[in-house]
Amino acid sequence: MPDRRIISADRQEDERQFEASLRPRTLAEFIGQTNLKENLSIAIQAAKARGEAMDHVLLYGPPGLGKTTLAGIIAAELEVGFEQTAGPVLQKKLDLTGVLTAIRPRQVFFVDEIHRLMPDVEEMLY
């Protein structure tokens, strides 16, 4: 019987690892966005010098510009944990509460597609 391969749109673990290895891990490795990198570098260094969490950051733009990568870089540069979720995943206030209770001090929390949050969930972030 011939070898049949099942093709799926879901990413496989080896694909995730390969993709992660291609992403830059520091601001110095991130190409482009010079002014943004300078501003982030100052904010990161200031937060580290104060020993406090970095202020909120809003990364915006069309898909593929590196917003998620930059969020991971911020966490790496701050030497803190990184938690990621997506707006459509947070359907109820309880969903957000569950995620927020697991976050550690000074950890980076990234919400992808935040514009797709439900209004009552969005209100909790205010």
Q: Give the percent of the chain with pLDDT over 70.
A: 91
The CATH superfamily of 13-125 is P-loop containing nucleotide triphosphate hydrolases (3.40.50.300)
DSSP per-residue codes, the chain: --------SSPPHHHHHHHHHHS--STTTS-S-HHHHHHHHHHHHHHHHHTSPPPP----SSTTSSHHHHHHHHHHHHT--EEEEEGGG--SHHHHHHHHHTPPTT-EEEEETGGGS-HHHHHHH-
Residue 108 has pLDDT above 70, yes or no: yes
pLDDT digits (tens, 9 = 90+) for 66-81: 999 999 999 999 999 9
The pLDDT of residue 64 is 87
